[in-house]
Structure 1
Amino acid sequence: MFQVRNDEPAYAFLNSDGPMANKKNSYGNNIQTIDESSELYGKSLNINNDPAVGENPDRYKQHGFHFTADNCIGCHSCEAACSEKNDNPAHIAFRSVGYVEGGTYPDYKRINISMACNHCDDPVCLKGCPTRAYTKYAEYGAVLQDPDICFGCGYCTWVCPYNAPQLDPVKGQVSKCNMCVDRLEVGLKPACVSACLGNALNFGVIDTIPENRQQAKTDIPGFPRTDITNPNIRFQQTKSIPNEMSRTDSMSVKYHKNSKSTQYEPVVDRKKGIKRSWNISKLRSREDPLVIFTLISQAVTGAFIMMFVGNLAGIEVMQKVVASAAYLPMIFIMLALEMLALFLSTMHLGKPHRFYRAFNNLRYSPVSREVAGIAVFFNSLGAHFLALLLALQLPDMPLWQQIAGVSGYLAALSGPVAIYFMHKIYRIEARPYWNHWQVLTAFFGNMSTLGALMIAVIFVPVFLYNAQSVSSLLQLTSLLMVVGLLAEGTGHIFHARDLNVQGREGAVSYYEQVSTFGKTYLLRNMLLLANVFVSIALSFIAGDSLLTLIVWGMLVLSVLVMAIIGRAMFYVLVVPTTMPGAFFWKNRGFEAHARESGLAQMPQVGIIDDTH
């Protein structure tokens, strides 16, 4: 158990909830986590392999932080105490202090916000984690994470609205605030609370208002929506502040007071102006492997479905494709491309050698479901290839042809399912730019567009070499590309409209899209429009003329450029519902400057290359 000092000050000890406590919290959920009849009651947390059980009378009640914004002086003592207790390196902070400011001199106002994990009633990190590294304990309602189970995919850092899980690029794993449960077991408050100089941080049974406090609000200017996870933190903020509060970090977000609800809501802060720029270099991100993985997976899935289903449907040109001697090499190429995509996706993990843990949470995690779907598709496609190869070598054994048919059906069915779960990964409420049905139309649209393109790129040269007409093949693949491009374009139109209508961080992403990447965004849209018209024209042109082939070659390049730009923008434009940072700390702009200028080479700056 944690050793209590003899001279521990009185303010460091927890206060008992008492008999008159609330039974329900502000969200209508039970504060009591379990009763004495539960099999979990009286169990040890085995902290440092100690079998002792804490004697805290409120052990099985949901606990949480209380933050009095009026008292916070921004000294960062809570950060220092947390990092010291958890032995965190300079680039990792379980607790961070940011701030928002508003007004003009001399009536300038600033609110500091100290934030760590909120140990939510509905922790999305727990459901999203594919390795099941998270557990919500009955003891104190703490949401604890085991870094040794984590394989460093970082999905929990995407789904958490409060930036609580911290991905360490050096260790290749995530870790976060553990509520200092070792201190709670012996009746002490968390280290950050005990270190607070301004008496701004407090801790106890949730919705129990601390001494000398009047409020236990669930929101404060700069705090994300609470309906996503029902976070266990309460606020007091009584001093008057302006109707508009701005962030000092580089994120184009400010908070405007809603006259009806009196709550502060995120809106666009046009701090970067409205000038359109290219910023091609900024399209690179640590998610580059996922750009390649998603595009290749969608292309391979689409190409196989078109060939397999087209052959079954009796489409003459697809029957020629499947009957061609190049069909087996085509399947081999698709397997090789998908293997490359899977390799890049696996190496994107912090601990690639633990990739098999991705299957641990099929019940809840879309990541686990996507991995399972891709695995079934890839193995079915591999079985289809091997069975066809053996059928050619052993024509007297019809069994191999039957296996090829069954595995082909399985691949054709599992492929779209895998792409569907791939899209579900990005339907995250904490990332409004992604949380739109446009992701589905983009992914399935790419299946049709890139799949048809892949078929044409491989089989047009084969048909020409065999002195066969490519007219029907080009017309069919052009038509399939039109379907995919129109699906993607329709999604983009509604996506842009809905981002502005719904506001909040989604509107901020749209602002970044038309300003920071304005010219790149315009190029993508122009290429998309041009590709639609050219594909429509080619779908009506019958002939094998050199001009047709040249136009087709240009279309291939245009579609590839459009797809890569669009997918890269998909990852860099997302604006999460995170807490505001400070001028230096938790500021993307300063982090980029530190990496460019070499400051990141100094460990004390707390910034390292965003890779692992």
Structure 2
Amino acid sequence: MSELIELKDKTLIDMLLEEQRQVQTPMGRFAEAAEEAAAEQASRFGDLIPLSAPRAGEQYAFQVDLDRCSGCKGCVTACHSLNGLDENETWRDIGMLVGEGERGPALQTVTTACHHCVEPACMIGCPVDAYEKDEVSGIVLHLDDQCIGCQYCVLKCPYDVPKFSPKRGIVRKCDMCHSRLSSGEAPACVQACPHEAIKIVTVEKEEAVARSQDPDSFLPDSPEPGYTKPTTRYVSKKGLPKNMVAGDSHVLRVQHTHWPLVGLLALSQLGVGGFVSAALDLGSLQGNLGFASFLGAWLVFHLGLVCSALHLGQPLKAWRVFLGFRRSWLSREAVILGACSGVSCVAIGAVAAGWFGYLDEFPWLESLQIGAVFATALLGLVGVFTSVYIYVDTRRSFWKLPYSLSKFYGSVALGACAFYMLAAGGASLAMASAFVGLVVLKLVVEAKSFGDNRSSQGLMESVLNPLWKARLSIAALSCVAAMAATRYEGVVLGSIVLLLVCLGELAERALYFKAVNAPKMPGGLNG
């Protein structure tokens, strides 16, 4: 009776809509199947991600079961697809270790991504604070909208994790698919691995720091873990032979030249040398050649600064570079060289005023001139020191402190000699001899830096040998020109010496970048 009353209350439209809802359309069946698959997937991957957020003193980390990794690159493909990476951009790579154990030759494939370190070198080195370590999850996140594309994090990270995107002008990296993880979904690489070799675990930060003090706690032939305290765990019941090396350890790779940085370092340091020369011989600034020499140093220095802007992927955001001053050597370099530039403009104005004869009319200009020239030279020398530590702080043997310090301040000394000859309109025998001695000493240091590293030595003896020979030839010509300047006065030979010094230092600085040994995780199957 109640059913009849209910039917009576319904209109024809209501009954048709109810009938339609009960019909299984293809789209309806697809939706039901998708819901069932999602539920099954959640159940399947529940053991591969933590069920709760990290507690205080803990963070998320990758755990890789080496016994299960087959090197199939399923994780690489999934990461690339889900994150919409560029054609040649990868956030997860597959590498290979080879060696020999008790049972004969051994081979181990390895999947690697960002290790979300306890002390991330990329974050510490960033001059614009474009990285942050999430307080809850411990994931190291890159803030794309803050990045200026300086690529210093690429040099700082020993694991080759941050990747520069030329199309976007910024660096990008693995973020452990944190948006999926926060929603209870497994990261792309975890879901895609057919052998479930990758999982997300919760680790104690203090334990990760303690483990990093033991080099054997990480993978063989990998960067020293004590630098950044990586949290990734590589586990294996079978164990790995201690003598294993990266499958591509024998491959010699010419590194990126970074031509704008070559120009910045070589030219700015030669310009600083000119500032030092002027500070040591203030009397020469009143003469035509002295003023021209100081103006030339100012131009060379600022040409180097212009080169630095060409290196940035997002140059319009460069004004933010001061944000990382407390911990980033790159930020310190930018701020101090920027201050040097400002003071040098005051100095060039004061010197120009003196050259035009205004010192008698405005006596205070002499004090301003002296103070500005000395301040310019001092700020320049401090700026060169920050440049040294930008590269020393990456902990690459080819860039270690004795070599970088000698090369960078050697450029300053050669610049000082060259600009002094230009200001003097020639060179005394003592000055020319000092110049030749500096050139020879610097070449010895450069040759020694190659010999201290197998990779750098191999590159210098093979693909970089023509550039090295060109460097030697230019250095020899500069010495000949300097000795000739002792007999023939005038600006021509002084200008030739300066030009040859510039070319020689540019060649040396190109080798400085090309021949560096770049640390990375074990490779051999990347691509």
TM-score by length of 2: 0.81
**Aligned equivalents of 2:128, 2:117: Cα separation in 1:** 19
**Cα 1:240–1:116 shift into 2, 3 Å:** closer
Aligned to 1:160: 157
Q: Following TM superposition, by how much is the alpha carbon of 1:164 offset from its aligned partner in structure 2, in angstroms?
A: 1.1
**Aligned equivalents of 2:48, 2:112: Cα separation in 1:** 22
**Aligned equivalents of 1:148, 1:59: Cα separation in 2:** 29
**Aligned equivalents of 2:504, 2:377: Cα separation in 1:** 26
**Cα 1:526–1:77 shift into 2, 3 Å:** same
Aligned to 2:510: 568
Q: Following TM superposition, by how much is the alpha carbon of 1:449 offset from its aligned partner in structure 2, in angstroms?
A: 0.9
**Cα 1:484–1:445 shift into 2, 3 Å:** farther
Aligned to 2:23: none
Aligned to 1:192: 189
Query: Is the contact between residue 93 and residue 526 of structure 2 (CA under 8 Å) also seen in structure 1?
Result: no
How many residues are treated as equivalent by the alignment? 481
2:132 counterpart SS class: strand
Query: Is the contact between residue 224 and residue 578 of structure 1 (CA under 8 Å) also seen in structure 2?
Result: yes
**Cα 1:430–1:423 shift into 2, 3 Å:** closer
1:296 counterpart SS class: helix
Aligned to 1:8: 41
TM-score by length of 1: 0.70
Instruction: Give the letter for the 1:521 counterpart.
Output: W
Aligned to 1:478: 432
Instruction: Give the letter for the 2:41 counterpart.
Output: E
Query: Is the contact between residue 59 and residue 140 of structure 1 (CA under 8 Å) also seen in structure 2?
Result: no
**Aligned equivalents of 1:100, 1:413: Cα separation in 2:** 50
Aligned to 1:287: 258
Instruction: Give the letter for the 2:220 counterpart.
Output: P
Q: Following TM superposition, by how much is the alpha carbon of 1:367 offset from its aligned partner in structure 2, in angstroms?
A: 0.6
Query: What are the ranges of 5 or more consecutive residues in structure 2 without an aligned counterpart?
Result: 1-34, 208-214
**Cα 1:144–1:88 shift into 2, 3 Å:** same
Q: Following TM superposition, by how much is the alpha carbon of 1:207 offset from its aligned partner in structure 2, in angstroms?
A: 6.6
2:234 counterpart SS class: strand
Give the number of the structure whose alpha-carbon radius of gyration is greater: 2
Query: What are the ranges of 5 or more consecutive residues in structure 1 without an aligned counterpart?
Result: 19-54, 210-215, 254-268, 273-281, 312-318, 464-469, 500-505, 586-612
Matched, 1:305 2:268: no
Q: Following TM superposition, by how much is the alpha carbon of 1:242 offset from its aligned partner in structure 2, in angstroms?
A: 6.3
Matched, 1:341 2:341: no
* More divergent stretch after superposition (200-209 vs 151-160): 200-209
**Cα 1:187–1:364 shift into 2, 3 Å:** same
Matched, 1:328 2:275: no
Q: Following TM superposition, by how much is the alpha carbon of 1:583 offset from its aligned partner in structure 2, in angstroms?
A: 4.7
**Cα 1:146–1:549 shift into 2, 3 Å:** closer
Q: Following TM superposition, by how much is the alpha carbon of 1:413 offset from its aligned partner in structure 2, in angstroms?
A: 1.1
Instruction: Give the letter for the 1:166 counterpart.
Output: K
Aligned to 2:400: 435
**Cα 1:511–1:102 shift into 2, 3 Å:** same
* More divergent stretch after superposition (132-141 vs 476-485): 476-485
Matched, 1:91 2:106: no
Give the share of equivalent positions with the same residue, in percent.
23
Aligned to 2:76: 79
**Aligned equivalents of 1:68, 1:207: Cα separation in 2:** 19
Query: Is the contact between residue 438 and residue 488 of structure 1 (CA under 8 Å) also seen in structure 2?
Result: no
Aligned to 1:404: 369
Aligned to 1:608: none
Instruction: Give the letter for the 1:235 counterpart.
Output: Y
Query: Is the contact between residue 56 and residue 186 of structure 1 (CA under 8 Å) also seen in structure 2?
Result: no
**Aligned equivalents of 1:390, 1:549: Cα separation in 2:** 26
**Aligned equivalents of 2:306, 2:500: Cα separation in 1:** 27
Aligned to 1:279: none
**Aligned equivalents of 1:402, 1:243: Cα separation in 2:** 66
Aligned to 1:606: none
Q: Following TM superposition, by how much is the alpha carbon of 1:179 offset from its aligned partner in structure 2, in angstroms?
A: 2.1
Alignment of 1:207-246 (within 5 A): 218-239=217-238, 245=244
Query: Is the contact between residue 14 and residue 204 of structure 1 (CA under 8 Å) also seen in structure 2?
Result: no
Alignment of 1:369-518 (within 5 A): 369-391=332-354, 392=356, 394=358, 395-456=360-421, 458-459=422-423, 463=425, 470=426, 473-475=427-429, 477-482=431-436, 484-485=438-439, 487-489=441-443, 491-492=445-446, 494-496=448-450, 499=452, 506-518=453-465
Query: Is the contact between residue 14 and residue 188 of structure 1 (CA under 8 Å) also seen in structure 2?
Result: no
Query: Is the contact between residue 221 and residue 522 of structure 2 (CA under 8 Å) also seen in structure 1?
Result: yes
Q: Following TM superposition, by how much is the alpha carbon of 1:582 offset from its aligned partner in structure 2, in angstroms?
A: 3.5
**Aligned equivalents of 2:353, 2:473: Cα separation in 1:** 47
Q: Following TM superposition, by how much is the alpha carbon of 1:200 offset from its aligned partner in structure 2, in angstroms?
A: 1.1
Matched, 1:114 2:111: yes
Q: Following TM superposition, by how much is the alpha carbon of 1:296 offset from its aligned partner in structure 2, in angstroms?
A: 0.9
2:146 counterpart SS class: coil
**Aligned equivalents of 2:49, 2:159: Cα separation in 1:** 28
1:581 counterpart SS class: coil
Instruction: Give the letter for the 1:8 counterpart.
Output: Q
Q: Following TM superposition, by how much is the alpha carbon of 1:478 offset from its aligned partner in structure 2, in angstroms?
A: 2.0
1:65 counterpart SS class: strand
**Aligned equivalents of 1:405, 1:556: Cα separation in 2:** 25
2:110 counterpart SS class: strand
**Aligned equivalents of 1:90, 1:115: Cα separation in 2:** 19
Task: Note the aligned Cα RMSD (angstroms).
Answer: 3.5
**Aligned equivalents of 1:374, 1:484: Cα separation in 2:** 25
**Aligned equivalents of 1:412, 1:80: Cα separation in 2:** 53
**Aligned equivalents of 1:406, 1:436: Cα separation in 2:** 31
Instruction: Give the letter for the 1:170 counterpart.
Output: K
